[in-house]
Amino acid sequence: MSMSARTARTAWMSGLITTAVGAGLMAAVPAGAVAGSEVKDGDYVFTVKLSIGDEAHSRACTGALVDARWVLTAASWLAVDGKPASAGAPVANTTVTVGRTDLTQTTGRVVDAVELVPRTDRDVAMVKLAQPVAGVAPVRVAAAAPAEGDQLRAPGFGRTKTEWVPNRLHMSVFTTASVDSTTVGLNGSDSAVICQGDAGGPALREKDGEVEVVAVNSRSWQGGCLGTDAAEKRTAAVSARVDDLNPWIQQVRSLPKQGQVASGDFDGDGKSDVAVLYDYGKSSDGQRNQAALWVFTSDGKALRAPRTWWESASSWDWTRSRLTAGDYNGDGKTDIGVLYNSGRSDDNLRNQAKLFTFASTGSGFQAPQVAWESGSDSWDWNRSQITSGDYNGDRMADIGVLYNDGKAADLQTNNTSLYSLAWVSGSRSWDWSASQPVSGDFNGDGKADIAVLYDNGTTADGRIHNRLWTLTSTGDTMTAPAVQWDSYLG
C-alpha cells in the first residue's frame, strides 16, 4: 500500500502515546519499523506484517510467526479508537502477510486475523490466523532471558530514516541494556533505531546457528527515524519479554483446534442453547490431552458470547470423544453425553468404551460421571454413531447408538440395565457408513424416534440419491425403518 509523506506523517502523529517506561525513557512513543540494513530474500521469513483497518485508515505493525496459525506481536498496536485490544475477534479488519522478505513479491501468503489473545501484564498479544500457513518455519520462543550486553537482532517492516513505507524487511542489531521482570531495555545507535511500524516485531537472539525470539518491540524514542523531530537523538527502546511466557504461548497455541457441537436448553430457561466440546490439544508440559465445554446461551434474540462450562483437569482426549446432549436426569436442563473410546483391553482381546454424562447445573457442567462402560463385552467406538432422545417416554433422555454391525443399541442412562437392543437390520442390507442418525419425536406421541439420512449412492443417470428413514419408538423397541423421503422421487 502506498502512502504520501503527509498522510503517513499525520497517521504517525495521531498514534503518539506518552508513557513512563523506565529510567532514561520518559515520554517514549510506540515503536515502529527498524532502520537498518535490508534482509536478504528468504531470511527471517517468520517475520510478518500486520495491516490493521481499511485502506483509508490503515496502519501497520510487525510480528513473528510462532506457530503455523499464531503470530506473536505487541498488544498496544492492536488497539482501536483508543480502546485496548480485547480477547476475541479483531474489531478492525486485520490481515497478516507471512513469508515475504519483499512485500512486492508473491511468495508466502496474506491471511486474515480471526482472533486476538492479549496479555494484561505486558505489551504482548497472540494473533490467530484464519488458516494455517504452510512452508514457513515458525521461530522458536526463547526459554531464558537475555543478559545485559547480549546482542539482539530486530527485523521489521516499518519506517526507516529515508522511507515512509518500505517494501523490504530491514534488520538492526541492538545491545541489551537492562532486563526486568517483564521488559528488556535496548541500546540503539545511529544505525540501529526502531521506528514507526515495528511494534510487535521480534527481538531475536542468535546462538550456534539457532534463532529464537526473546522479546517483542514495544516502545522507542525513534531518534533519526523519518518523521521524528530532528532534535530527537535518542535511539533506545523497550521490548516486552516473552522468554518467560512459554507456558502461556503453548496454552494459546493449543486453544480450540476443532470442536463438536450439540444443542439443548443447558441453562433451563426454555430457550435452546449451543454447546461445543473443544479440542485444546496437549498441555504445555506435553503430558496431558486437554478439552473444554463452552456454551453459547440464548437470550431469545441471539446467542450470547460463549462461556466455559467445563475444563478437563485430568487428561481428556477430544479425538476419542463423540458428543451428544439430552436431559438425562429429567431436571429440565440439558446435560452432555460423551461416548469415549477407552482403547483396547489389557489382554488386547476387546475394544472398550465408556459413556460419560456431564450434568448441567444451569451455569456449568458437573464433573463427568461414568453412566455405562463396555466391561467384559467388546464395543468398538469407531463403529458407533451416537444420538439422544427420550425413546421410552419417561421424560428423561436416553442415548441411542447406531452400531456398525447393523444394530441400533439403546443405552438408557436413566435405568439400571443401560443397554437394550432396539433394532437389527437382519436380512436387509444396511450400510452404517452411509448413515447419519438424529433423534426427535416425529409422530408426537411423547417418545423420541430415530431418523437416518441414508446415502444411496448415485442413480443410473448420475444424480446423487439420498433417502430419509425413520425408526419409530414403541417405548420398548424400534419399528423397522420406513422411508419418509426419497430424493430420486422428489
pLDDT in tens, 451-486: 999 999 998 888 999 999 999 999 988 998 999 999
Decide: 262 and 232 in contact? Cβ < 8 Å.
no
Nearest to 428 by CA among 463, 371, 469, 378: 469
Report yes or no: 277 and 222 within 8 Å, Cβ to Cβ: no
How far is the C-alpha of 185 from the C-alpha of 183, rounded, in Å?
A: 7
Q: Is the pLDDT score of 190 beyond 70?
A: no
CA 379 and chain centroid, separation = 32
Lowest mean pLDDT among 80-84, 134-138, 353-357: 80-84
For residue 24, name the pLDDT band (cuts at 50, 70, 90).
very low
CA dihedral 460, 466, 472, 477 (to 10 degrees): 80
- pLDDT at residue 34 is higher than 80: no
Please compute the mean of the pLDDT values over residues 86-100 and round it to a whole number: 89
- The reported pLDDT for the residue numbered 298 is 97
Query: pLDDT category, 124, cuts 50, 70, 90?
Result: very high
Amino acid at 379: W
**How sure is the predictor about 13, in pLDDT bands with cuts at 50, 70 and 90?**
very low
Between the two ends of the chain, the Cα-to-Cα distance in Å is 53
Residue 84 confidence (pLDDT) above 90: no
Among the ranges given (171-180, 219-228, 229-238, 269-278), the one the predictor scored with the smallest mean pLDDT: 219-228
Residue with cell 541494556: 177
Looking at residue 92, its pLDDT comes to 87
> What cell was used for 423?
433394532
- The strand pairing partners of 187, in sequence order, are 175
Most confident of 23-37, 53-67, 97-111, 368-382: 368-382
Q: Average pLDDT of 272-287?
A: 84
Residue with cell 463396555: 374
| pLDDT higher than 70, residue 221 | no
Q: What local confidence, expressed as pLDDT, does residue 301 receive?
A: 94
Sign of the CA dihedral running 61, 62, 63, 68: positive
Asked if residue 182 has pLDDT above 90, the reply is yes
> Within its chain, how far is the Cα of 418 from the centroid?
36
pLDDT at 167: 77
Residues 244-269: tens digit of each pLDDT: 998 888 878 876 678 999 999 999 99
In this prediction, residues 436-449 reach a mean pLDDT of 96
Q: What cell was used for 19? A: 508513557
pLDDT band at 134 (very low <50, low <70, confident <90, very high): confident
> What global pTM score does this model have?
0.55
Q: Decide: residue 68, CB within 10 A, 0-12 exposed, 13-18 middle, 19+ buried.
A: middle
**Contact by Cβ (8 Å): 268, 333:** yes
Angle (CA) 219-228-122 rounded to 5° is: 10
pLDDT at 260: 96
The pLDDT, as a whole number, for residue 490 is 64
Band (434; pLDDT cuts 50, 70, 90):
confident
- Taking the C-alpha atoms of residue 322 and residue 382, their distance in angstroms, rounded to an integer, is 10
Instruction: For residue 427, name the pLDDT band (cuts at 50, 70, 90).
Output: low
Question: Strand 259-264 relative to strand 37-38: parallel, antiparallel, unpaired?
Answer: unpaired
What letter does residue 245 receive in the DSSP assignment? G
Q: Nearest to residue 439, comparing CAs of 399, 412, 467, 486?
A: 399
- What amino acid occupies position 194? I
Q: Which of 84-98, 225-239, 368-382 has the lowest mean pLDDT?
A: 225-239
Kindly tell me the sign of the dihedral angle through the C-alpha atoms of 226, 228, 230, 232.
negative
Distance CA 402, CA 398 (A): 13
Grid cell digits, residue 275: 454447546
Nearest Cα residue to 91 out of 56, 137, 127: 127
Q: Which of 300 and 3 is assigned the larger pLDDT?
A: 300
**Contact status, residue 221 vs residue 238, Cβ threshold 8 Å:** no
pLDDT band at 163 (very low <50, low <70, confident <90, very high): low
pLDDT average, residue stretch 3-12 = 30
Residue 103's pLDDT is what?
A: 79
Percentage of the chain with pLDDT > 70?
84
Q: Give dist(CA 211, CA 154) in Å, integer.
A: 12
Residues in CB range of 160: below 8 A, 6 or more apart? 33, 34, 35, 36, 166, 170, 195, 225, 226
Average pLDDT value for the chain: 83
Q: What is the DSSP string of 24-82?
A: T-EEEEE--PEESEEPPTTSSTTEEEEEES-GGG-EEEEEEEEETTEEEE-SGGG-BTT
Can you tell me which residue has the cell 442390507?
Answer: 429
Residue 479 cell numbers, joined: 419399528
82 versus 86: which is more confidently predicted? Answer: 86
Return the DSSP state at 318: G
The residue whose grid cell reads 516486552 is 240
